[in-house]
Chains A and B, each alone.
Chain A
Amino acid sequence: MKNFVHLSILIFFAFGLNGCDQKPVTAPSGKTIKIGLIAPLSGPDDTKGKEGLKGIQLAMQMWPYLQNGDRIELITADDQNDPALTVQSLKKLVQKNEISAIITFSTSDPVLAMAQVAFDYQTPILAAIATHPEITWQNGYISQLCFDDHFQGTTAALFIRDELLIDTVAIFSNPRNAYSSDLAATFESKFKSIGGEITDWIISAPETADLSEMLKGVRDHRPELLYLPIGAKDVLRIIREVRNLDWAPQMMGSDGLISTMLTEHKKQLSLLNGMLAIDFFSHEMGLTDFGEKVKDAYHSKYKGKQRATSTTYGALGVEGYALLLDAINRCKDPTDRECINLQIRSTKNFSGIMGNITIGLDGKAQRALCINSIQNGLSEFIVKVY
C-alpha cells in the first residue's frame, strides 16, 4: 500500500511537471518550406538588410519549424535597395526557389516597384520597413508590417501641434525618395489643417548647395521646429549647420533614424541629443511576453561576445518572421501562397515585441508608434500612439 502511494505521488508529479510549462516538441517532418528575404545586403542601405537579417536569423533559431514539423529555410536576395534589382530578385526567388512567401527590408521605392510582379506571381510579401501608404494599394499581395507614412505624418503633426503647442514648422524632405516626400506631404497637410504654419519646405539632398545660407533663410522665418523625414546623413548635415548658426530649434526625425545612426554613424550620436524621433520601439518601453522571450534569446545568442546593437530593423526582422510563421501555420498547406497571403491579412492582435499588431484585409498594419527623445543613442519614450 505504501509503495502504491509513493508510486501514485511519483506519477502525479511526473504528469504534473510535464503538463506545467512544456510545449509539445515539434517532430521534424523532413520537409522544408522556403521563405525569401529581399533586402539591401550591400550598397549604401545595407544596414537595413543586414540588421533585418540578423533579426530573422534570431527568430529562426527560436522557431525553426512550422507546427507540422516542416523546417523553414531562408533564401536571401540582395537588391541593394535598387528597384530594378528588387524586381529581379523577386522573380528569381519565385521562379527558381519556389518560395512560399517573402519578407522584404527594402524601402518604399523598391517595394513599390515589386507590386506588379507580386501580383503576377501571386506571392505574399511582407514589407518590414516600407512605409509608403501606396504599397498596399496597388495589389493584394504586399502587406505592411510597419505603420504607414500617413499614420506617422498625421501623428507627428498632431503631436507637435497639440502636445508641444508649436505653431510654426519648417520641413526638410528628399523629393527623390517616395518615403520622404510622402511623409513630408502628409505632415504639411495635417499641420496646416489644424492651424499650424509651415514657414519653409526645404528640398534636402546630398548635393543641396549652400545649406548654410538656406538655413539662415529658414531661421529668419522663426520656425519653432524642424521636421526632418530624411536620411540620417542629411539629418546630420543639417544639425551641424544649425549648430554652426548657433541656433537651437526643436527637431523631429522619422522612423529608422536612430537605428541608422547606431549602426552607421555611432560616433556622431551625441549630435542628436534632445532630438525627437518617431520609431516602432523605444528603449524604455515594457516588453510583451513575446518581447521578453526574444530578449532572452538575444542575450543568450550574444552572450560572451561583443554584443551587437539591437536596432529597430533587427526587432522588425524577428516580428516579421514570427508573424509570417503564424500565418503559414494557419494554412493547411504551407506552400499555398493564396492562403498565406489571406492569413497574413487576417492577423489579429499578434503579440509583437512591444505591443499588438493587427493586419487588415487591406494589408495595412495597425500598430502603435512611439515618439521618443534621443539621448546618448537611446530612445527615451515620450508617448505611444495607437
Chain B
Amino acid sequence: MTEYVSSAVFVYTEDTKYLIEPLQNNSVGTRITPMAFDALMQTPKARLEGVDHVVVAGPLDVIKEILRLATDFHFSTGIIPTKEQTDLIKFYDLPKNPEDAAELALRRDGQVMDIMLCNGKIMLFKATVGQIPLLDTPSKASWIRVMADAMRKFFKFKLYTFRFSTAGKKKIHTAASGCMILQHSRGSFASKLISQDHTFSDGMISLVISAPISMIAYARLLWQALKSSAGFKKLPSSIGYIKSPQIDIAAETPIDVIIDDEDRTQTPLHCETIPQAVRINVGQSLQDEAAGVAVAAERIDIDNLPTENELLKAKRHKRIPFFSYASEERFHELFTSLREDARINGIYLVLMVLSTMLAAVGLYLNSVSVIIGAMLLAPLMAPIVSLAMGILRGDIALFRKSIGKIIVGVLIALLSSALITLLFPHKPVTDEMLARLNPTLLDLAVAIISGIAAACSKSFKEIMQSLAGVAIAVALVPPLTVAGIGIGRLDFHFFYQAFLLFSTNLVGIVIAATFTFRVLGYSAVVRSKSGLAVVLIFLALISIPLYLSYSRIVEDRVFEKNWQKERFLVNEKYLLIRKATLFRRGDKRIILMEIYAREPLNREDLNAFKAKIQANFSQKLIIRINTFYIP
C-alpha cells in the first residue's frame, strides 16, 4: 500500500506558482507549506530545519539547489516537472501529468540516489567534454537521425590529449575527441554502451571516452551503433570506459565542459560522487532498477584508446586522418605471425622445390588438377603478405626479410623448372603453358582482388581457411614455373611473358594487401611513404606492358570473332570459316583456321586461299588450316 508524507514543503518559482493550489488540495491528505525558492534561499537553515520532505517544481538549477540542500538537511525530495522538462521526466521516470506527478512527489518511499559533483556543480544527467560524436545521440533515435548526426560531425572533429585519473590512483594518458560523464544509463547511445554495468546508486561515476582515430574508425563505430540496437556485450572499437567514485579529467588546453546541457565549465574537471546522498521520489522502473544494485568496483577499459606513440600522431593532426593507424603492440600477435612468415626456413625451401616440380609436371601433362595442387602447396603468398605489411609500416627489417624470402623462392622455382625442362627429353608446349603467356590488365585485376582477400584472411582468423582459395585464384608458382621452362628452352619470349604474369601477380597482391592493411588500420603511427611509392612505381611500370598486352588481346579476339563471318570463294569453291585462332610468337602472327568445304581442296586452291587472306588482311600473317569436308 502506498504511503504518503504527512507534510511537505512545496518550493516553487514564479513559473510554477500555479501548482500551489492543486497541491494543497491533494487527495492524499498531505499538508503543504508553499515556499518561494528565492525566500527559501535567503535563510535555508531556518526554513528547512525539521522538514522531512520537499516537493519542488521549477527550472533545473532550482531542482539542483534543492538537491544540494537535501544532502545537508537530509529531507526526501519529490519533483513535479513541467511539460518542457523532458530530460527530467525521462531520467527520473516521472509522470507527465502534473496531478500524477504530484501524487508521486508526495509519496513516502523515496529512492536513495548518488549525487555527482563536477567542479562543484551538481550533475543530474550527463556532462560532455569536447566532441563526442554518436555518444550523445539518443539511443532510440532512428538510423536516419544517427546517420545525419554522424555525417554532420564527420569531417569536423579532432583528437585531444587527455589525462584521466581515478580514485584508485590510476592515471591514463590517451587521445580522444571527447568524453561523457553519466549519472546513470538512460537515454543516449553512450548509456547503451554501459547499460549492463551502471546504476544511479552504486557510488560510481561512469566516463565513456570517444576516440575514433580515423574517419574509417568513426565509420566503423557508426556501423556498430546502427547494427546494435539492443546493447553491447563488449565495448565497440574507438570507445573507452572508466568507472570510479572519482575522476579527474585534464586536457592539454582547456576544453569546454557542458553539464546537463546548461551549465558550462572547463577542464581540468574534477568529478566526484556523493554516494546515496539523497532520496528522490522516482518512477517505478527506476525503483525496480535499484533493486538489483550490487557493490561496484572501479573499472578501467581503455584497450581501444590510443596509447604511447599513437598519441603523438593524434597530437600532430588538426583533424583525424582518413585511415586508422596502430602501434605494433596493439596487434602483437599478427605482427609476430608476419615476422615468422618472412623468415626463410627449411620447410619453405622444400615446399618451393616440391610445388615447382609439381607445377612443372602438371604443365607438361597439361593437367589442371596437378597444377592446382602446386598452387595450394606453394608457400609464396605468406612472404608477399609480410612484404605488404613491411611496406605499409616502413618496417625495413620486415621488408628485407620478406623480399629476401621471395627472391630465394623465385630463384628456386626458376632453377628447378629450368632443370626439369633440361632433363625432360620431350618438351611439348601445352595449352596450360600457353595460357600463362598472355598476361593482361585483367590478370592484374585478379591479383589485386586476391591481394585484398589475402590481407583480410591474414587479419581475421575466422577466414584464414580462405587463403587456399586466394592461392588458387592468383596462382603464383605456375607462371614462375613456365618462366623457368622458358629458361630451360632458351626461349626468352616464353620466359618474359610468364615472368611478366608472375610479376603482375606479385605487384598486384603487394599493392592490394598494402592498401587493405591500411584500410584495416594497420598503418604505422609514423608512416613511411617511400615503400608505397616504390610499389606504385612498379605498378605503373608493369601496367604498361599489361595494357599493351590487353589491347593486343582485345584486338586479336575481335579479329578472331570477325573471321566467323568471313567466307572465301576460291576457284569456285565456297569455304566457310568454322573457327579462327590467332597466336603470337614474338613479332609473328599465326592464324589457325578451321574451315568447312564441300569439295576437296588442291594445292592450287589452298594457295589461292592463302593469297586472298594475305591480300585482305596482312602479308605477314602465317596461315595454318584444318579443313573439314562436308559431303
Which residues of chain A are within 8 angstroms of B615 by Cβ–Cβ distance? 348-349, 356, 358, 366
The residue from A158, A194, A358 contacting B569, defined by CB atoms under 8 A apart: A158
Which residues of chain A are within 8 angstroms of B565 by Cβ–Cβ distance? 381-384
Assess A158 versus B574: contact at CB under 8 Å? Given A194-B598, A385-B567, A385-B569.
Answer: yes
Which residues of chain A are within 8 angstroms of B567 by Cβ–Cβ distance? 155, 159, 383-386
A314 CA / B609 CA spacing, docked (Å): 30
A329-373 near B? 1/0 per residue, CB < 8 Å: 000000000000000000011000001101000000010100000
Report whether B566 and A162 are in contact in the complex, using a CB–CB cutoff of 8 Å.
no
B543-580 near A? 1/0 per residue, CB < 8 Å: 00000000000000000001001111100101010000
A263 interfacial by beta-carbon distance below 8 Å: no
A381 CA / B566 CA spacing, docked (Å): 11
Report whether B616 and A155 are in contact in the complex, using a CB–CB cutoff of 8 Å.
no
Question: What is the interface of chain B mostly: helix, strand, loop, or mixed?
Answer: mixed
Which residues of chain A are within 8 angstroms of B566 by Cβ–Cβ distance? 383-386
B612 interfacial by beta-carbon distance below 8 Å: yes
Interface residues of B in 584-631 (CB under 8 A from A): 598, 612-613, 615-616
The residue from B572, B598, B612 contacting A162, defined by CB atoms under 8 A apart: B598
Residue of A nearest to B563 (CB): A384
A154 CA / B567 CA spacing, docked (Å): 13
Q: How large is the interface on B (under 10, 10 to 19, 20 to 34, 35 or more residues)?
A: 10 to 19
Residue of A nearest to B573 (CB): A158
A349 CA / B569 CA spacing, docked (Å): 18
Interface residues of A in 115-172 (CB under 8 A from B): 151, 154-155, 158-159, 162-163
Which residues of chain B are within 8 angstroms of A382 by Cβ–Cβ distance? 565
Please give the distance in Å from A184's CB to the nearest CB on chain B.
18
Assess A355 versus B616: contact at CB under 8 Å? Given A158-B574, A162-B574, A163-B576.
Answer: yes
A279-315 near B? 1/0 per residue, CB < 8 Å: 0000000100000000000000000000000000000
Assess A162 versus B576: contact at CB under 8 Å? Given A386-B567, A386-B568.
Answer: yes
A54 CA / B456 CA spacing, docked (Å): 65
Which residues of chain B are within 8 angstroms of A162 by Cβ–Cβ distance? 574, 576, 598
Which residues of chain A are within 8 angstroms of B572 by Cβ–Cβ distance? 154, 190
Which residues of chain A are within 8 angstroms of B576 by Cβ–Cβ distance? 162-163
Interface residues of A in 188-228 (CB under 8 A from B): 190, 194
Please give the distance in Å from B568's CB to the nearest CB on chain A.
5
Which residues of chain B are within 8 angstroms of A163 by Cβ–Cβ distance? 576
Report whether A155 and B612 are in contact in the complex, using a CB–CB cutoff of 8 Å.
no
Report whether A386 and B574 are in contact in the complex, using a CB–CB cutoff of 8 Å.
no
Q: How large is the interface on A (under 10, 10 to 19, 20 to 34, 35 or more residues)?
A: 20 to 34
User: Number of A-B pairs whose CB atoms are under 8 Å?
Assistant: 46
Which residues of chain B are within 8 angstroms of A383 by Cβ–Cβ distance? 565-567
A159 CA / B569 CA spacing, docked (Å): 10
Report whether B568 and A385 are in contact in the complex, using a CB–CB cutoff of 8 Å.
yes
A194 CA / B566 CA spacing, docked (Å): 21
Please give the distance in Å from A193's CB to the nearest CB on chain B.
9
Report whether B598 and A386 are in contact in the complex, using a CB–CB cutoff of 8 Å.
no
A349 CA / B566 CA spacing, docked (Å): 18
Interface residues of A in 247-263 (CB under 8 A from B): none
Which residues of chain A are within 8 angstroms of B569 by Cβ–Cβ distance? 151, 154-155, 158, 385-386
Interface centre among B567, B598, B613 (most CB of A within 10 A): B567
Report whether A159 and B574 are in contact in the complex, using a CB–CB cutoff of 8 Å.
yes
Residue of A nearest to B574 (CB): A158
Please give the distance in Å from A78's CB to the nearest CB on chain B.
36
A354 CA / B590 CA spacing, docked (Å): 23
A159 CA / B568 CA spacing, docked (Å): 11
Residue of A nearest to B572 (CB): A154
Please give the distance in Å from A357's CB to the nearest CB on chain B.
10
Which residues of chain B are within 8 angstroms of A349 by Cβ–Cβ distance? 615-616
A48 CA / B612 CA spacing, docked (Å): 30
A1 CA / B613 CA spacing, docked (Å): 57
Please give the distance in Å from B374's CB to the nearest CB on chain A.
42
Report whether B574 and A368 are in contact in the complex, using a CB–CB cutoff of 8 Å.
no
Residue of B nearest to A163 (CB): B576
Please give the distance in Å from B597's CB to the nearest CB on chain A.
9
A385 CA / B568 CA spacing, docked (Å): 5
Residue of B nearest to A366 (CB): B615
Please give the distance in Å from A68's CB to the nearest CB on chain B.
29
A385 CA / B567 CA spacing, docked (Å): 4
Please give the distance in Å from B63's CB to the nearest CB on chain A.
79
B44-78 near A? 1/0 per residue, CB < 8 Å: 00000000000000000000000000000000000
Interface centre among B562, B565, B598 (most CB of A within 10 A): B565
A286 CA / B568 CA spacing, docked (Å): 18
A52 CA / B613 CA spacing, docked (Å): 29
A355 CA / B616 CA spacing, docked (Å): 7
A155 CA / B598 CA spacing, docked (Å): 14
Which residues of chain B are within 8 angstroms of A385 by Cβ–Cβ distance? 566-569
A355 CA / B598 CA spacing, docked (Å): 27
Residue of B nearest to A194 (CB): B598
Which residues of chain B are within 8 angstroms of A194 by Cβ–Cβ distance? 598
Please give the distance in Å from B574's CB to the nearest CB on chain A.
4
A227 CA / B616 CA spacing, docked (Å): 29
Please give the distance in Å from B593's CB to the nearest CB on chain A.
13
Interface centre among A190, A286, A349 (most CB of B within 10 A): A349
Please give the distance in Å from B599's CB to the nearest CB on chain A.
9
A372-384 near B? 1/0 per residue, CB < 8 Å: 0000000001111
A384 CA / B617 CA spacing, docked (Å): 13
A237 CA / B136 CA spacing, docked (Å): 84
A355 CA / B615 CA spacing, docked (Å): 10
Residue of B nearest to A356 (CB): B616
Which residues of chain A are within 8 angstroms of B616 by Cβ–Cβ distance? 349, 355-356, 368, 386
A114 CA / B568 CA spacing, docked (Å): 32
Which residues of chain A are within 8 angstroms of B613 by Cβ–Cβ distance? 386
Residue of A nearest to B617 (CB): A356
Please give the distance in Å from A333's CB to the nearest CB on chain B.
29
Residue of A nearest to B630 (CB): A162
Which residues of chain B are within 8 angstroms of A368 by Cβ–Cβ distance? 616
Please give the distance in Å from A157's CB to the nearest CB on chain B.
9
Residue of A nearest to B565 (CB): A383
Which residues of chain A are within 8 angstroms of B574 by Cβ–Cβ distance? 155, 158-159, 162
A216 CA / B214 CA spacing, docked (Å): 85
Interface centre among B568, B569, B576 (most CB of A within 10 A): B569
Please give the distance in Å from A150's CB to the nearest CB on chain B.
10
A158 CA / B565 CA spacing, docked (Å): 15
Which residues of chain B are within 8 angstroms of A356 by Cβ–Cβ distance? 615-616
Which residues of chain B are within 8 angstroms of A190 by Cβ–Cβ distance? 572
Which residues of chain B are within 8 angstroms of A155 by Cβ–Cβ distance? 567, 569, 574
A368 CA / B613 CA spacing, docked (Å): 11
Interface centre among B566, B572, B615 (most CB of A within 10 A): B615
A155 CA / B567 CA spacing, docked (Å): 10
A154 CA / B573 CA spacing, docked (Å): 9
A163 CA / B568 CA spacing, docked (Å): 13
Please give the distance in Å from B544's CB to the nearest CB on chain A.
20
Interface centre among A194, A366, A384, A386 (most CB of B within 10 A): A386
Please give the distance in Å from A285's CB to the nearest CB on chain B.
9
Which residues of chain B are within 8 angstroms of A159 by Cβ–Cβ distance? 567, 574
A385 CA / B576 CA spacing, docked (Å): 9
A348 CA / B576 CA spacing, docked (Å): 25
Residue of B nearest to A367 (CB): B616
Which residues of chain A are within 8 angstroms of B598 by Cβ–Cβ distance? 162, 194
A368 CA / B569 CA spacing, docked (Å): 10
A162 CA / B573 CA spacing, docked (Å): 11
A381 CA / B561 CA spacing, docked (Å): 14
What 4 new A-B contacts, CB under 8 Å, besides A383-B565, A385-B566, A386-B613?
A: A159-B574, A162-B598, A190-B572, A385-B569
A-B contact pairs, 11 of them (CB 8 A): A151-B569, A155-B574, A159-B567, A190-B572, A194-B598, A349-B616, A366-B615, A382-B565, A383-B566, A384-B565, A385-B568
The 8 closest A-B pairs by CB, nearest first: A158-B574, A385-B567, A386-B612, A383-B567, A386-B568, A356-B616, A383-B565, A162-B574
